[in-house]
Amino acid sequence: MTAFTAPIARQIWEMKYRFKSPSGDSLDASLDDSFRRVAHALAAVEAEPAVWEPRFRAALDSFRFLPAGRILAGAGTDRAVTLFNCFVMGTIPDSMEGIFESLKEAALTMQQGGGIGYDFSTIRPRGAAVKGIGADASGPLSFMDVWDAMCRTIMSAGSRRGAMMATMRCDHPDIEAFIESKRDAARLRMFNLSVLATDAFMAAVEADEPWDLVFDGVVYKTLRARDLWHRIMRATYDYAEPGVIFIDRINRLNNLWYAEAISATNPCGEQPLPPYGACLLGSINLAALVRDPFGEDAGVDAEELSDLVSVAVRMMDNVVDASRFPLAQQAEEARAKRRIGLGVTGLADALAMCGVRYGTPAAVAQSGAWLSAIRDAAYAASVGLAREKGAFPLFDREKFMAGETVAALPQHVRDGIASHGIRNALLTSIAPTGTISLFAGNVSSGIEPIFALSYTRKVLLPDGTRAEEEVVDYALARWRDLKGPDAPLPETFVTAQDLAPHDHVVMQAEAQKFIDSSISKTINLPADIPFDAFEDVYLEAWRSGCKGCTTYRPNDVTGSVLEVSQSVAKPAAGAEDDADHASAGDVVWIAEPLNRPETLEGITYKLKWPDSPHAIYITMNDVIVGGRRRPFEIFINSKNMEHYAWTVALTRMISAVFRRGGDVSFVVEELKAVFDPRGGAWMKGRYVPSILAAIGGVIERHLVEIDFIDGEGMGLAEDPAAAKQVAVGQDRAVPSACPNCGSFNTTLREGCEVCLDCGHSKCG
């Protein structure tokens, strides 16, 4: 029952989840071994591991339950990594010592692969007096720049980088600078940004009242609340940030309202967390549970769903005990509250297979039915665990039962909590599932609509040739299997680009009713949406009970996403047009260097310069990028100590250029053009103007041999980066490229940029 349903799923397993030794040897011989490793590790904390391991293993079959990526990759490996995806760090003290202690904690957390969230509202505003030294404060934005640099440094050291979230209260005196900070395309690129919008602020916006910007009881500025709201909206309209988090609603509906105050979230917003809080994620794959897809009896079996949720809750609760934590405070926080975030993925595919169009009243009702069933089963399972193992340590029966979210539970679940307590303080969350959704056969992500019915990716074949491979949405693949490859699509097959903003909001609002944490969801909007209509999306989200809102509109700062072409069979008569969203593109430049794989293939060339006593050895190592072999690094060595400094410099500079991505063949032409005023040399019947030109010739030969350029003299004559930058600023947005493989076949899913060629996601 364990099989890959798409080639990209196998590639993701190979790259992200297959357990390998430091030397690159595969310790998981098959996907089944990976699943057994995870099941064994999570069952090991049970009193009867042999009873639970097969049940945990069965939950993973057919990708029905998908633990988050760090669990799949780390459980049972004995590696010093955390199994938790993200953390909200401790409150930042308003002192230099406290700020840099917080920075150290962030670095230690990110070193183990955890994403982090921070509230920067606690740092005094720019220009405020700093007592004792007679100076003015530089403000929270300056320290955010330090955090940003730290994240880049950890990434450049080869560690897996988690994403970062920065929040700021809507009444902080530096909120206007925070809102505008990403207008500079080079600033704070490691951060997602969100404004903490309070109930009082939203009421002032709707009433068009004045709004004070305050710190430590001092009013620094008063402005119209609606003007500040417009600035937030304009920034988000122009470059997709900041998001908006309705923080008072989050705290009011928190099951732990009596034990914690929340002022930040994890990087994608689905887990509002207290200081040192951690998010532990997993998803029920609804698409894998649909019986009789596209048939008259299509649906999800209630008993199977309930049983699967019960096992998933137990597995996730065990992760709390099985995981390592970067900081002792994080371990203490996790074990005191045992917070988990069980969500779903494949919702849109499941709706399509059940004959329901995403965003319609029928879809809202069906989604609510599935999610309420998951909520009730999760809470019931946690009550059962409390009866067996004890309630979470901070459980206060009277206060917990008084919470608004708990009050909405069915009576039999509330009775169980009253009698036995509950094992987990919070249980549900809908997270970004970009990578694990691809891993499960390209099911639709989270509660998002289907993003693309299909797209093409370039793959390198064993014989060295290249081919294009179609990656098909899970529901579309099932349709083709059942109805034939050319069968017209029903109107239930709609994509994110087909939907009105309202369709997105009503689905998020309905889901939020049954989710005790929050939801990571991106509302994809067309570039030409009027600003007023764009602003209305956020107001509708606020009025309909959402805990936050994130949109994406293509723009010149963050770029565009996957391009659309028409090639998939159209819906049946009367239905809206459907589109195949296919990647297109030539080489592009990337903002971050490629990560170095553990092993690389390469060739060493010997270069003998006439009259020199020592040869130069040039090693070229390559990496596969989007199915194409390309140079990744170079090493230039010689026993001639006169060559030492410049060979080291050349090694570092050329390798840095290679890792930027793009068409790096200009390096060849630049080196070949270098002449030595002392004279060159004749080599194999050809005059070479300098030893650097000879090195350029060796690099050119290698690029030809790996088919990166077509032949000698066919490389670029100059670095095209400058021209590309001009193009960005003039009339179009260049899609972001993957920092792992360099492909620009990327999409934005639930606030996370996901590579559709290699499966890389900055959110894990």
List, for residues 384-419, the tens digit of each pLDDT value: 999 999 999 999 999 999 999 999 999 999 999 999
At position 642, the amino acid (one-letter code) is E
For 511-537, how does the pLDDT look when each residue is reduced to its tens digit (9 = 90+)? 999 999 999 999 988 889 999 999 999
Is residue 210 classed exposed, middle or buried when 0-12, 13-18 and 19+ CB atoms within 10 A define those classes? exposed
Q: Identify the residue whose tokens are 């691809």.
A: 438
Q: Which of 96-100, 310-314, 686-690 has the lowest mean pLDDT?
A: 686-690
Compute the distance between CA of residue 491 and CA of residue 576 in angstroms, rounded to an integer: 7
For the beta carbon of residue 295, count every other beta carbon within 10 angstroms: 13
For residue 36, pLDDT beyond 80: yes
Compute the distance between CA of residue 264 and CA of residue 87 in angstroms, rounded to an integer: 10
Q: What six digits make up the tokens of 642?
A: 């006169």
Q: Which of 129, 126, 139, 127 is nearest to 92 (CA)?
A: 139
Statement: the pTM of the whole predicted model exceeds 0.85: no
At position 250, the amino acid (one-letter code) is I
Strand ordering across the sheet containing 616-625? 601-607, 616-625, 628-638
Compute the distance between CA of residue 76 and CA of residue 409 in angstroms, rounded to an integer: 36
For residue 1, pLDDT beyond 70: no
For residue 584, pLDDT beyond 80: no
pLDDT of residue 562: 45
Mean pLDDT of the chain: 86
pLDDT of residue 149: 86
Is residue 416 classed exposed, middle or buried when 0-12, 13-18 and 19+ CB atoms within 10 A define those classes? buried
551, β-bridge pairs: 523
Question: Which residues, other chains included, contact 475 with Cβ-Cβ below 8 Å and sequence gap of 6+?
Answer: 287, 293, 348, 349, 350, 352, 353, 443, 444, 450, 493
For residue 643, pLDDT beyond 90: no
Q: Which of 541, 450, 443 is nearest to 490 (CA)?
A: 450
For 169-212, how does the pLDDT look when each residue is reduced to its tens digit (9 = 90+)? 999 999 999 999 988 877 888 899 999 999 999 999 999 999 99
Compute the distance between CA of residue 339 and CA of residue 425 in angstroms, rounded to an integer: 5
Q: Which of 253-267, 351-365, 713-727 has the lowest mean pLDDT?
A: 713-727
Q: Which of 142-151, 159-168, 714-723 has the lowest mean pLDDT?
A: 714-723
pLDDT of residue 291: 97
Confidence of residue 764 (pLDDT cuts 50, 70, 90): low
Mean pLDDT (whole number) for 375-387? 98
Higher pLDDT, 297 or 612: 297
Cis peptide before 631 (omega within 30 of 0): no
pLDDT of residue 558: 60
Query: What SS3 state is found at 254?
Result: coil
Q: Which of 216-230, 358-372, 449-463, 470-484 has the lowest mean pLDDT?
A: 449-463
Give the helix/strand (H/E) hosting 641: none
Confidence of residue 3 (pLDDT cuts 50, 70, 90): confident
Compute the distance between CA of residue 387 and CA of residue 410 in angstroms, rounded to an integer: 19
Q: What domains can you pick out in the chain, each with its CATH number?
A: 7-83+276-420 (no CATH), 89-265+525-552 (3.20.70.20), 601-719 (no CATH)
Mean pLDDT (whole number) for 702-710? 87
Mean pLDDT (whole number) for 629-637? 89
pLDDT of residue 708: 87
Beta-strand (E) ranges in 352-478? Answer: 454-460, 466-472
pLDDT of residue 196: 98
Compute the distance between CA of residue 744 and CA of residue 583 in angstroms, rounded to an integer: 8
Compute the distance between CA of residue 287 and CA of residue 450 in angstroms, rounded to an integer: 12
For residue 462, pLDDT beyond 60: no
Confidence of residue 461 (pLDDT cuts 50, 70, 90): low
Confidence of residue 167 (pLDDT cuts 50, 70, 90): very high
Contact 292, 50 (CB under 8 A): no
Higher pLDDT, 648 or 347: 347
| 8-state DSSP, 488 | P
Compute the distance between CA of residue 488 and CA of residue 472 in angstroms, rounded to an integer: 15
For residue 723, pLDDT beyond 80: no
For 468-511, how does the pLDDT look when each residue is reduced to its tens digit (9 = 90+)? 778 899 999 999 999 999 999 999 999 988 899 999 999 999 99
Q: Identify the residue whose tokens are 């402005």.
A: 223
Compute the distance between CA of residue 467 and CA of residue 469 in angstroms, rounded to an integer: 6
Compute the distance between CA of residue 184 and CA of residue 157 in angstroms, rounded to an integer: 25
For 360-371, how does the pLDDT look when each residue is reduced to its tens digit (9 = 90+)? 999 999 999 999
Taking the mean position of all CA atoms in its chain, how far away is CA 357?
Answer: 27
User: pLDDT above 90 covers what percent of the chain?
Assistant: 60
Compute the distance between CA of residue 674 and CA of residue 117 in angstroms, rounded to an integer: 49
Confidence of residue 610 (pLDDT cuts 50, 70, 90): confident
| 8-state DSSP, 15 | I
Distances (CA, A) of 741 to 14, 70, 559: 14, 20, 18
| 8-state DSSP, 719 | -
Cα angle 5, 352, 541 (rounded to 5 degrees) comes to: 115
Question: Which residues, other chains included, contact 440 with Cβ-Cβ below 8 Å and sequence gap of 6+?
Answer: 5, 9, 63, 66, 285, 287, 288, 345, 346, 474
Active-site residue numbers? 266, 268, 270
Q: What six digits make up the tokens of 508?
A: 């998020």
For residue 465, pLDDT beyond 50: yes
